[in-house]
Amino acid sequence: MLKLKYKIWLQDEGRTFGKGVYNLLIGVKNTGSLSEAAKSMGMSYNKAHNLIKNAGKRLGFELLVSKSGGNKGGGSILTPEAEEFIKTYNEFLDECNEALQTIFSKYFKNN
């Protein structure tokens, strides 16, 4: 049986925002740590930091607010703009999935 597979990302002068950055932001939201989010994805902290930094530059707003370590350690939180953006992006993906599934079913309903 055929299944629909696809990738969607937003692009402006290179790949700007896609599954990787989205998953990192969700990981930071859940753990309060970019390092932990990166580790859970099998990614180095430096790569994760660069992805987030570059995505923020291309989008025109900061994605994370970080605090340095200390007695209680450091951490990161999403900016309000990042919170709103991932909410919008998730809604966009849901609509894309629904539309693509409908189109796929129209053309490949017997598979």
Query: 37-88, pLDDT tens digit by residue?
Result: 999 999 999 999 999 999 999 999 999 998 876 666 779 999 999 999 999 9
Residue 34 is assigned to a structural domain of this protein:
yes
Domain tally for the chain?
Answer: 1
Residue 103 is assigned to a structural domain of this protein:
yes
CA 25 – CA 64 distance, rounded (Å): 8
Residue 111 has pLDDT above 70, yes or no: no
CA 108 – CA 97 distance, rounded (Å): 16
Residue 56 is assigned to a structural domain of this protein:
yes
In sequence order, the 6+-apart residues with CB closer than 8 A to the CB of 81 are 61, 62, 63
pLDDT of residue 109: 82
Please state, in angstroms and as integers, the Cα–Cα distance from residue 90 to each residue in 2, 15, 70, 86, 94, following that order.
Answer: 25, 17, 34, 6, 6
* Structural domain span for residue 36: 18-108
pLDDT of residue 4: 94
Residue 3 is assigned to a structural domain of this protein:
no
Going by pLDDT thresholds of 50, 70 and 90, the confidence category of residue 16 is: confident
Residue 33 is assigned to a structural domain of this protein:
yes
Backbone angles phi, psi at 39, to 5 degrees: -60, -40
What is the rounded average pLDDT of the residues 16-23? 93
Check which CATH number belongs to the domain holding 41 and give it.
Answer: 1.10.10.10
Predicted TM-score (pTM) of the model is 0.85
Residue 6 is assigned to a structural domain of this protein:
no
Residue 68 is assigned to a structural domain of this protein:
yes
